C-alpha cells in the first residue's frame, strides 16, 4: 500500500530536512513545494503570487505519483486547513494517509535556523525571521502526528513518520 504524508509547519521548522530523511528511509517521493513554486516563478508567464498554482501543481503531481503506487511526501508550509484538505482529499482507500505538523518549540533555535539558511534552489527567496513571525499560520490540531524538531532529530522524526506510514 502506498502512503501519502502531508506535512505542515512554519518555514525553518525542519520540514525539508525531515522530508529528505524520510525519503531516504522509506523510498517515498519527496515533493517539495519550494521547488514547484520556484520553477513557476521563473516562468515569463508567472502570476505575481504563485502559491495557489504551486499547491495545485503539487496536488496534481502527488495524485499521479500515488496512482502509480509511489508513496509521496508533501513538504510545504500548508498554513491553512483548506490547503491541507486539498492534499488529504487525494488519498484513496488504497493509500495510507499520514498527517504531520512539524514545529520547533525553541524560538532561539528556530530563529537561528531561519537566519542561517541559504537558498538551495536558483531564484528561491527565503523569508526572514520577521516574515516567519508574521505568517498567517494556523496550527494543525487534527494532524495525526505532532513532531517538535527542537527535541527530535531529523532521523528520529523520519522514523516516527515511517512507522505511521507502515501502520495498518
Single out the residue of 137, 167, 2, 149 nearest to residue 69, CA to CA: 2
Residues 5-30: pLDDT tens digits?
999 999 999 999 999 999 999 999 99
Which residue do the cell numbers 491541507 mark? 84
CATH code, 27:
3.40.50.300
- What pTM did the predictor assign? 0.93
Strands 95-103 and 72-75: unpaired
Q: What domain range is 140 assigned to?
A: 2-166
8 A C-beta contact, residue 152 and residue 103: no
Q: How many C-beta atoms lie closer than 10 Å to residue 39's C-beta? A: 17
Residues 91-121: pLDDT tens digits?
988 899 999 999 999 999 999 999 999 989 8
Residue 74, helix vs strand vs coil: strand
Pull the grid cell for residue 151: 527535541
Residues 40-63: pLDDT tens digits?
888 777 667 767 788 999 999 999
Domain count for the chain, please give it.
Answer: 1
Q: Give the pLDDT mean for 137-152.
A: 97
132 contacts: CB under 8 Å, gap ≥ 6: 10, 11, 12, 110, 114
Average pLDDT, the chain: 93
Amino acid at each position: 500500500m502506498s502512503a501519502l504524508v502531508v506535512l505542515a509547519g512554519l518555514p525553518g521548522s525542519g520540514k525539508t530536512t525531515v522530508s529528505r530523511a524520510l525519503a531516504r528511509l522509506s523510498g517515498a517521493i519527496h515533493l517539495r513545494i519550494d521547488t514547484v513554486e520556484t520553477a513557476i516563478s521563473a516562468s515569463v508567464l508567472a502570476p505575481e503570487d504563485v502559491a495557489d498554482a504551486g499547491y495545485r501543481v503539487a496536488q496534481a503531481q502527488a495524485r499521479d505519483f500515488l496512482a502509480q503506487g509511489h508513496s509521496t511526501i508533501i513538504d510545504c508550509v500548508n498554513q491553512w486547513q483548506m490547503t491541507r484538505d486539498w492534499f488529504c482529499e487525494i488519498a484513496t482507500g488504497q493509500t495510507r494517509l499520514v498527517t504531520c505538523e512539524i514545529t520547533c518549540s525553541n524560538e532561539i533555535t528556530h530563529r537561528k535556523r531561519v537566519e542561517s539558511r541559504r537558498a538551495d534552489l536558483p531564484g528561491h527567496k527565503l523569508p526572514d525571521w520577521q516574515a516567519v513571525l508574521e505568517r498567517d499560520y494556523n496550527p494543525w490540531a487534527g494532524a495525526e502526528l505532532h513532531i517538535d524538531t527542537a527535541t527530535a532529530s531529523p532521523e528520529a522524526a523520519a522514523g516516527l513518520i515511517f512507522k505511521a506510514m507502515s501502520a495498518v
